[in-house]
Chains A and B, each alone.
Chain A
């Protein structure tokens, strides 16, 4: 399906999809750390590949990322992205792991971050699956700490054959004074969007 078929209504629906998914994930995070998590209004964008990392500080910004593929009725890719300082804060609050700010992450910390990402993206996807009654199966997640552009480009490979643009549903969340800030990125496969709209009862012109 072509992105130029989308009107404001379709984009609003996708924004709501981001709201429901990230809302549930934020609730899960809030329970994990017993703190209030706020969300920003989801950004739904049809962007050139080069701009995909812009909302997390650009291609070269250093981020912690948990990545998984979504299979089933609406295939796509999902990313949970946080800054290094947010990752350290999460490890501190959840696991009692104290790390120096300039210290890198060891195996155990990476594994813990992978599991946190797994729980949060899992609750994002399962709330969407419940809501749409569509089948959405997450692959096992994997974690990486590196340049945002190098990481996010993994979500573009499949759709790369069809064009130079991606549709991203990006929901930022933060805790208190934004000491903990992160993003949930959903990149649905363009071919799966009609199915998603059908499940939500949204007409396509």
Chain B
């Protein structure tokens, strides 16, 4: 068993028996996709909601609207069936409680919303999520079971 690491603004896929993980999600959203039959899974560490705001070279893994289609495409190429894929999400926190909240500070909820829309457009159901709040998260998906392990500093570990 290997653990595939996904960095910030990055995405990757793997298959059973491997696990796939990303660390220190704050306002970023970790989207995981899983096909229970082929046991192929994918993860994206989404940083920003909308690729149309990108200046310069586009990193598709960074934005919700481009990362999710790319992840599905990569999984299909590896043998997954898009009609069987389900999604789970974690992250999208507001780490700081500012009195005057600028748009940048509300980025967590906006990221969650953008991921939800991109998944809906791809007709991928969201079967579980742990989003919002004000804590950082580290997540790890088990490609055998599709269970998503979520670790926080204050609230311990949970599985969804």
Q: Give me the interface of A with B, judged by CB distance under 8 Å.
A: 48-50, 53, 58-60, 62, 67, 69, 104, 139-140, 142-151, 153-154, 156-158, 160-164
Indicate which residue in A49, A58, A62, A146 contacts B8 across the interface (CB closer than 8 Å).
Answer: A49
Task: Let me know if A59 and B24 touch, CB within 8 A.
Answer: yes
- Residues of chain A contacted by B137 (CB below 8 angstroms): 147, 150
Instruction: Give the contacts of B126-160 with A (CB-CB under 8 A).
Output: 134-138, 153-154
**How far apart sit A49 and B22, CA to CA, in the bound complex (Å)?**
13
Give the 7 A-B residue pairs with the shortest CB-CB distance, closest first: A149-B24, A150-B136, A150-B26, A59-B24, A147-B136, A142-B96, A50-B7
**How far apart sit A145 and B153, CA to CA, in the bound complex (Å)?**
9
Residue of A nearest to B10 (CB): A50
Residues of chain B at interface, number, CB under 8 A: 37
Binds A, one of B12-20, B34-42, B54-62, B75-83: B54-62
Task: Let me know if A154 and B27 touch, CB within 8 A.
Answer: yes
User: Please, could you name 24 A-B residue pairs with CB atoms under 8 Å apart, sorted by A?
Assistant: A53-B24, A58-B23, A59-B138, A140-B98, A142-B98, A143-B96, A146-B154, A147-B26, A147-B136, A147-B137, A149-B8, A149-B23, A150-B24, A150-B27, A150-B135, A150-B137, A151-B95, A151-B136, A153-B28, A153-B47, A154-B27, A157-B48, A157-B107, A161-B54
Task: Let me know if B26 and A151 touch, CB within 8 A.
Answer: yes
Classify the secondary structure of A's interface with B: mixed
Residue of A nearest to B137 (CB): A150
B87-125 interface bits toward A, Cβ cutoff 8 Å, 1 = contact, 0 = none:
000000101111110101101000000000000000000
Smallest beta-carbon distance A133→chain B, Å: 27
Task: Let me know if B55 and A161 touch, CB within 8 A.
Answer: yes
Smallest beta-carbon distance A95→chain B, Å: 21
Smallest beta-carbon distance B155→chain A, Å: 11
